Chains A and B, each alone.
Chain A
Amino acid sequence: MRTRKALFLIPYLLWIFLFVILPILLILWYSFTDSNRSFTLNNYVVFFRNGTFLRMMINSFWYAMLITLLTLVISYPAAYFLTKMKNQQLWLLLIILPTWINLLLKAYAFIGILGNNGLVNQFLHLFGIGPVNILFTDFAFIFVATYIEIPFMILPIFNAIKEINPAVIQASEDLGASRWQTFRYVLWPLSRPGVESGVQAIFIPSLSLFMLTRLIGGNRVITLGTAIEEYFMTTMNWNMGATIGVILIVLMVIVMLITSRKARRKKVDL
């Protein structure tokens, strides 16, 4: 049994070593060296001294937050209403279906839709509103990103709401709670886990949407993803690219530690 266990473990541990630990070490090593492979802290000095990078960092988190928030605002009611429908499986299927169409194809569709002669402007034209610049704006970027993420938010929230015992909501209504109160004190806290996993599923990918900043944002929106892509693929300064990557990883770890501590505290409260 012992040897068999090792047999199970070996490929998996090999994977952890090769594709988790080693890449992290390599990216760390790159961030602490210069192009001549000698040790330096310069990359970090540049990062924190030069306001540009900090600003870009804040920018990308800001965009990711906006995207997540907008997605949540649109998705929550949709998920809630979904639990009230008769043919839930069918509705759900219809919502999931678009996620199976390649992401790049959907982005490509928006190049046509948002253009000066595209669908949106043709529609606006009916009301006599002249062509509005939509493509290559912050709005376009956030909108398209939100569009792509909506199904990934609806699903976890739907699952969470569905698990709530309808009697609880019934009880709250019977006790004379207004609709807002029911939402605020019953529905929202009970559907929190779904919202949390939805937010997680969207916030992180939103940081690396460099294809959208390029195709839809016209490179006027620069996020961390765009910057890393530029440093690795265009300017060939892997050391700086790795530095940005390391800082992003550290931030992620901090965020995760904070949220997990919160979760632990909640357990104690109960």
Chain B
Amino acid sequence: MRNRHLIARVYLSLTLVLLYVPIFYLIYFSFSSGKNMNKFEHFTFAHYQTLFQDNRLLAIFLETILLALLSSLIATIIGTFGAIAISGMKKESHKKTTLALNNVLMVSPDVIIGASFLIFFTALGIGLNFGSVLLSHIAFSIPIVVLMVLPRLNEMDMSLIDAARDLGANSWQVFSNVLIPAIMPGIFSGMFMALTYSLDDFAVTFFVTGNGFSTLSVEIYSRARQGIDLEINALSTVMFLFVLILVGIYYFITTKKSRRKNHRVIGGLVK
């Protein structure tokens, strides 16, 4: 038994090493004065200086976050409404068709989503810029929000609503005081997923961007095609620290909470 435990530890540690080697490799060379990732020359902060003077890259960084926040917010609102509407459908067949249509974007490969949106924007004469990227991000985030909220609605005790109504609550009060609080966890994780989708997306944005607007993924892609530039390494260090702090806060909060309620929290952190 003890032995098995050791194997488990070793295997997991090896997996973690595999997962982290590329990230630490990037970070390590961000301090090298050389020009490539082959030999560490001297220790330097020069690449960080370049990074923090690179206004274009910093602006893209901010705009990427802006895009993620805005698109996930709008997608969450539309998606939640959609989920409420679906759960209220009387006919089973309507429900099924709507859900099937909802899932189309979930199961389509990114390139096809990107390509079809490009055709769509061209057909409607919409220019390629921040607006088109925002619309696309909202569009591909809505289905996941619906899928996260819907189970909560189905689980919900309908007698609660009846009870509220019996107590004389009007429909707005039922909506805002009973329904929304009950499905809040679903809404929250839906928004979280939408945020990750948006931050993580490359393929769709690649197709529908233009006119000087770019997200981090697209910018890194075009820079990586020029070859290695240690400024990108510096950027990855900064992003890694950023994520580390965020996740650290998250871990701190959830472990404090889950001491009372023992549930899987972190599972919701990922796609």
Contact = CB atoms under 8 A, between A and B. Distances in A.
B12 A78 contact: yes
Interface size class of B (residues with CB under 8 A): 35 or more
A89 to B, nearest CB: 6
Nearest to B20: A98
A167 interface: no
B270 interface: yes
Interface in A194-220: 200-201, 204-205, 207-208, 210-211, 214-215
Contacts of B177: none
Contacts of A155: 267, 270
Interface string A155-177: 10011001000000000000000
A96 B243 contact: no
Interface stretch (A2-10, A47-55, A133-141): A2-10
Nearest to B229: A108
Given A104-B202, A109-B26, A147-B18, A93 B247 contact: yes
A100 interface: yes
A83 B215 CA distance: 37
Interface stretch (B42-50, B76-84, B183-191): B76-84
A91 B12 contact: yes
Nearest to B88: A5
A100 B117 contact: no
Interface string A14-38: 0110111111101100100000000
Contacts of A113: 21-22, 25, 37
Contacts of B101: 16, 20-21
Given A27-B115, A97-B247, A106-B22, A205 B109 contact: yes
B115 A112 contact: no
Given A27-B116, A101-B239, A208-B110, A19 B105 contact: yes
A147 B22 contact: yes
B194 interface: no
B119 A106 contact: no
Residue in A85, A100, A154 whose Cβ sees the most chain B Cβ within 10 Å? A100
A232 interface: yes
A8 B153 CA distance: 15
A145 interface: no
B207 A232 contact: yes
B62 interface: no
A107 B224 contact: yes
B239 A102 contact: yes
A211 B111 contact: no
Given A91-B12, A94-B16, A111-B228, A15 B82 contact: yes
8 contacts: A9-B81, A19-B120, A93-B247, A101-B240, A108-B224, A151-B19, A207-B111, A249-B112
By Cβ-Cβ distance, the 3 closest A-B pairs, closest first, are A112-B37, A12-B82, A23-B116
Given A100-B247, A102-B217, A113-B25, 7 more contacts: A7-B81, A15-B139, A82-B12, A84-B5, A89-B255, A89-B265, A154-B15
